[in-house]
Amino acid sequence: MKVLVAVKRVVDAYVKIRLKSDQSGIETANVKMSMNPFCEIAVEEAVRLKEKGSVDEIVVVSIGPQQSQETLRTALALGADRAIHVVTDEVVESLGVAKILKAIVLDESPDLIILGKQSIDSDNNQTGQMLGALLDWPQGTFASEVNIDGSALNVVREVDGGLETVAMTLPAVVTTDLRLNEPRFASLPNIMKAKRKPLDATTPETLGVDISPRIETLKIAAPESRQAGVIVESVAELVDKLKNEAKVIS
């Protein structure tokens, strides 16, 4: 069984975000970049499935500039077998990513696709669902547990009311949630081995995919700073402030 895992290079989750001076986007120059945390979970799940004997090969894919190869090498060090880099300096929207992944799927013929439910930069939570629709494959989103039994796939997913288990047949698309697993750290020997693992490069044009943007970002602004709270002496004073200052009650 072959698993395809999509990973994305984003601003590190522990970096304080800064806006560009013209408010056109997030400042990424001289900023630490890392693999998207949900993508780390997706890679970890694929590696665990391989360790269980359910998976034979793990292929990781990333779409982005040349520096995205660092993210792919990280995934290879974590246990992936080979990587595909779709090189582009353009910002690729969710639909464009789904179309690129579909083109790669048609070429690679994986049995399972695993990707993070969302990236921490755009927070769209769209790519997995769009890819499932484009391929006409069943999908299990927000997965907190994944079990493979032959050609059957059971996904425990998080919903508002608790947990829901969905059963489907392979091939399928799975998007990972936070509680699916705890990603491992890459060991130094595996980091060295990752340098020798295959990494192929292609472009959206070679794949025949149009990634022209459909959305125009007019402005990005930081949220207003929260005002300091105050301590009131009585319920009457609290009600007075809620009514006359905050004007949230009448």
Question: Domain boundaries in the chain?
Answer: 2-223
Structure tokens at 123: 């927070």
Phi first, then psi: give them for residue 207, nearest 5 degrees.
Answer: -80, -10
pLDDT of residue 141: 94
Distance CA 192, CA 179 (A): 29
pLDDT of residue 225: 83
pLDDT of residue 182: 96
pLDDT of residue 37: 96
- Per residue in 107-147, pLDDT (tens digit) is 999 999 999 999 999 899 999 999 999 999 999 999 999 99
CATH homologous superfamily of domain 2-223? Answer: HUPs (3.40.50.620)
Phi first, then psi: give them for residue 132, nearest 5 degrees.
Answer: -60, -40
Cis before 171? omega within 30: yes
pLDDT of residue 134: 97
Structure tokens at 160: 């508002």
Sole residue written with tokens 């292929």: 59
pLDDT of residue 26: 84
Distance CA 7, CA 49 (A): 17
Task: Please compute, for residue 214, the number of CA atoms within 13 A of its CA located in the half-sphere on the CB side.
Answer: 7
What's the whole-model pTM score? 0.87
Structure tokens at 175: 């998007």
Q: For residue 146, give the H/E element and its range.
A: strand 139-149
The residues, any chain, with a CB within 8 Å of residue 139's CB and separated by 6 or more, are 128, 129, 132, 168, 172, 173, 174, 175
Residue ranges of the chain whose pLDDT lies below 70: none
Structure tokens at 73: 């090498």
Q: What is the DSSP letter of 21?
A: T
Distance CA 238, CA 231 (A): 9
pLDDT of residue 118: 94
pLDDT of residue 131: 97
pLDDT of residue 29: 84
The residues, any chain, with a CB within 8 Å of residue 44's CB and separated by 6 or more, are 78, 180, 181, 182, 183, 184
pLDDT of residue 230: 86
